[in-house]
Amino acid sequence: MKSAISTSELSVFLVEPSGLQARIVQKYLSDLGVLNTQIFQDGTSALEAMRMQQPDLTISSMYLDDMSGSKLIEIMRADQALTNIAFILISSEDNPLYLDPVRQSGACAILTKPFELKHLRAVIFTTLDYLSPGSLALEKDDFDVENLHVLVVDDSSSARSYLIRVLKNIGIKNITEAENGKRGAEIVQGHSFDLVITDYNMPEMDGGELVEFIRNKSWQNTLPIIMITSEQDENRLAAVKQAGVSAICDKPFDPSHIKNLIEQIFTSAH
């Protein structure tokens, strides 16, 4: 298995049109031990460089001279050669219209301006969790992680890919994908699973309706369900909890948080 990556080994492309802001972020990265940082002022030049030599991580501002940060990650996720590069957005933007595409794209984190070194440290270590393999802290006598069967339900292929990499990093190998709740419900009826991880906002059938289906109409009505969502409406989330979701996690999520939730679910079950 590939060994864990350290900050000193991390290669970063920083896409930031402001020279001052770029210097601040680079200084913070250096303080954290990240020494391999290349700076780009626009998305186009960063993409050209990525295609020549892929970094481990791209950190981008929201507003660039030639495109938005959300457009940049959209282009990266659509390019097979760039799709697995970790991504962090740095922005003062709080409009969900601009942020949701980033959340749905499988970004490691969204860092809100203004920020301090400790905030950047947190998202860098979240990224290292995503890039590095780990393992679940479960008693092997009680549970074999490699035999876990997990269903991942999300209408964003990028979000599914991000989550699947996180799951594989902790030793889960048997993973089935569904592009919406309706397809997820069909798969649940035909196959046995140990865990479902689902998005909330999806076409055909949303995550809340999928939870209700599994709890009320499925032969696997005790199946643990983790919901990962950017939904902020408390009434909707309360309804999902009432329907019987096992845990709710925000998008973007810290891989270690998902790992801990899975550990908690199966530790309590066995």
DSSP string, the chain: -PPPP-GGG-EEEEE-S-HHHHHHHHHHHHHTT--EEEEESSHHHHHHHHHHS--SEEEEESB-SSSBHHHHHHHHHHSTTTTTSEEEEEE----HHHHHHHHHTT-SEEEESS--HHHHHHHHHHHHHHHS-------TTT--GGG-EEEEE-S-HHHHHHHHHHHHHTT--EEEEESSHHHHHHHHHHS--SEEEE-SS-SSS-HHHHHHHHHHH-TTTT--EEEEE----HHHHHHHHHHT-SEEEESS--HHHHHHHHHHHHHHH-
Which of 141, 146, 196, 138 minimizes the C-alpha distance to 171?
146
CATH class of 145-269: alpha beta
**What's the rounded Cα separation, in Å, for the pair 97 and 207?**
20
In the predicted structure, residue 97 carries a pLDDT above the cut 90: no
For residue range 230-239, list pLDDT tens digits in order.
777 777 778 7
44-56 average pLDDT score: 97
Confidence class for position 55, pLDDT limits 50, 70, 90: very high
Q: Are 131 and 84 in contact (CB under 8 A)?
A: no
In the predicted structure, residue 130 carries a pLDDT above the cut 50: yes
Q: Give the dihedral sign, CA 76/77/78/83.
A: positive
Amino acid making up residue 131? L
163-167 average pLDDT score: 93
Confidence class for position 96, pLDDT limits 50, 70, 90: confident
Fold of 7-131: Rossmann fold (3.40.50)
| Residue listed under structure tokens 């809340």 | 208
Mean pLDDT of the chain: 90
Domains 7-131 and 145-269 share a fold: yes
* Number of Cα atoms under 13 Å in the Cβ half of residue 15: 31
Higher pLDDT pick, 170 / 146: 170
Domain residue extents for the chain:
7-131, 145-269
pTM: 0.85
